[in-house]
Amino acid sequence: MVARAGLLTAVLMAALTPGVANAQQRPVSLVLTPRQTADPTLLATEARVPGAIDPLTGVRSPMRKDWIGLRTVSPNTPILVMAGHADSQGIAGSGTSGEAVGLLGAAPMMRGITDEHYWNLVLAHAVATLGRERGLRIDFYKPPVRTIVDPDHPGTNWSVGRDHAQADGYAFEIHFDAYGPSGVGSGLIPPLHRPFSRIDESLAQEFGAYPMNFRDRLGAPKRGVAILELGKLEGRLEASLRDPATRQRTIRLLADRVVTALEIGLGRRPTGSTPAQVSSQPAAGRIAPPALGRPASSAGE
Ligand SMILES: [Zn+2]
């Protein structure tokens, strides 16, 4: 699709806002708390039960997981990642404004789009970029315009994702959930076009799960497109994204968790590290980029 994912990200970042572009030029700094150093009992029980609080992404979906993904897939399964609400800006279903804008009076990250869509775009790009660096067959798709009224128009996320899923690929949208009581929490809403896969299961293990028929089968899942809610756009997660000092690290941590879950679901050996915790403190003295594998090509762009 595009030869260089790093360049793609740089172009998108530059197009979004100068602030994001500048953030991309900051050195990548990560607080790494590798999975193996975390308390396995905590991970196995408290941290992964429905409704548990994740230090980075907040509450996991407390809803019942009434499905299990057992279908194995090829390690070379082509993956398509998309930004939620990419074709519904300015109309119904444009995504959450986030707590900062909706409740606390902050300015939107970018005029004309919801803060959720803004972060969906940033994270979908980061996941595609990091996934390629780790050798996954992963592409990013963005509709040509931000508003397409007909959900079955051939250029919508749903249509392109449906075609990708029908061709034995894995298609999913990145989302952030609503703040406050109308949001549920992080988790995967699995695609419904065929038996649930190991990729579905792996993403659900990492982020939590929604019931298979959540909200009477949403438009994306019934077309074969998974919805991955990374977390409610509120509190510490949103603050970490908005703060230029922690933004790049937060994006990287989230993308790393998604890519690692994809690797596991594909039956590959995870090549990065999935930090179990993120600190709100600067990462001075605890930076260990080599543990993440090859450095991000987008980090200096
Ligand atoms: Zn959404």
Whether 150 maps to a domain, the answer reads yes
Whether 13 maps to a domain, the answer reads yes
Residue 277 corresponds to which tokens in the numbers above?
Answer: 């915790």
Cβ partners under 8 Å of residue 3, min gap 6: none
Tokens 């896969």 correspond to 197
Question: How far apart are the CA of 9 and the centre of ligand 1, in A?
Answer: 21
Residue 42 corresponds to which tokens in the numbers above?
Answer: 């905590």
Give the pLDDT of residue 122: 98
Could you tell me what percent of the chain has a pLDDT over 70? 75
**Beta partners for residue 209, in sequence order:** 188
- Sequence length of the chain is 301
Q: What is the CA radius of gyration of the chain?
A: 18
Question: How far apart are the CA of 117 and the centre of ligand 1, in A?
Answer: 7
The answer, yes or no, to whether residue 32 has pLDDT greater than 50, is no
Contact 90, 147 (CB under 8 A): yes
Mean pLDDT, the chain, rounded, equals 82
Give the pLDDT of residue 298: 34
Could you tell me what percent of the chain has a pLDDT over 90? 72
**Separation CA 262–CA 24 (nearest Å):** 24
Whether 297 maps to a domain, the answer reads no
Number of domains the chain contains: 1
Whether 50 maps to a domain, the answer reads yes
Coil vs helix vs strand at 227: strand
Tens digit of each residue's pLDDT (9 = 90 or more) over 170-179: 999 999 999 9
Residue of 248, 244, 202 lying closest to 226 (CA atoms): 202
Question: How far apart are the CA of 187 and the centre of ligand 1, in A?
Answer: 12
Question: How far apart are the CA of 86 and the centre of ligand 1, in A?
Answer: 10
Question: How far apart are the CA of 131 and the centre of ligand 1, in A?
Answer: 22
Q: Residue 106 belongs to what domain range?
A: 5-292
Question: How far apart are the CA of 228 and the centre of ligand 1, in A?
Answer: 9
Question: How far apart are the CA of 29 and the centre of ligand 1, in A?
Answer: 28
**Separation CA 229–CA 129 (nearest Å):** 19
Question: How far apart are the CA of 111 and the centre of ligand 1, in A?
Answer: 18
Angle between helices 18-25 and 244-265 (to 10 degrees): 70
* E strand residue ranges, the chain: 53-54, 58-59, 79-83, 138-141, 170-177, 187-189, 225-232
Tens digit of each residue's pLDDT (9 = 90 or more) over 198-255: 999 999 999 999 999 998 778 999 999 999 999 999 999 999 999 999 999 999 999 9
Instruction: Count H helices and E strands in the chain, helices first.
Output: 10, 7
Question: How far apart are the CA of 175 and the centre of ligand 1, in A?
Answer: 4
Question: How far apart are the CA of 30 and the centre of ligand 1, in A?
Answer: 27
**Separation CA 21–CA 130 (nearest Å):** 17
pTM of the model: 0.78
The answer, yes or no, to whether residue 66 has pLDDT greater than 90, is yes
Give the pLDDT of residue 15: 42
**Separation CA 140–CA 162 (nearest Å):** 14
Give the pLDDT of residue 217: 75
Whether 298 maps to a domain, the answer reads no
Give the pLDDT of residue 48: 83
DSSP state at residue 35: G
Question: How far apart are the CA of 96 and the centre of ligand 1, in A?
Answer: 7
Question: How far apart are the CA of 295 and the centre of ligand 1, in A?
Answer: 30
Question: How far apart are the CA of 84 and the centre of ligand 1, in A?
Answer: 5
Question: How far apart are the CA of 291 and the centre of ligand 1, in A?
Answer: 32
Whether 301 maps to a domain, the answer reads no
Question: How far, in Å, are 2, 36, 240, 297 from residue 7 at the CA level?
Answer: 9, 33, 25, 8
Model confidence at 272, in pLDDT bands (50, 70, 90)? confident
Question: How far apart are the CA of 284 and the centre of ligand 1, in A?
Answer: 34
Question: How far apart are the CA of 186 and the centre of ligand 1, in A?
Answer: 11
Contact 205, 116 (CB under 8 A): no
Contact 179, 103 (CB under 8 A): yes
Question: How far apart are the CA of 174 and the centre of ligand 1, in A?
Answer: 8
In this structure, what CATH number is given to the domain that contains residue 18?
3.40.630.40
Question: How far apart are the CA of 46 and the centre of ligand 1, in A?
Answer: 27
**Separation CA 25–CA 10 (nearest Å):** 10
Model confidence at 46, in pLDDT bands (50, 70, 90)? low
Give the pLDDT of residue 34: 39
**When comparing pLDDT for 93 and 36, which is higher?**
93
| Per-residue three-class SS string for 47-109 | CCCCCCEECCCEEECCCCCCCCCCECCCCCCCEEEEECCCCECCCCCCCCCHHHHHCCCCCCC
**When comparing pLDDT for 261 and 31, which is higher?**
261
Tens digit of each residue's pLDDT (9 = 90 or more) over 144-166: 999 999 999 999 999 999 999 99
Question: How far apart are the CA of 223 and the centre of ligand 1, in A?
Answer: 16
Whether 82 maps to a domain, the answer reads yes
Whether 33 maps to a domain, the answer reads yes
Tens digit of each residue's pLDDT (9 = 90 or more) over 83-102: 999 999 999 999 999 999 99
Question: How far apart are the CA of 285 and the centre of ligand 1, in A?
Answer: 36
Give the pLDDT of residue 154: 95
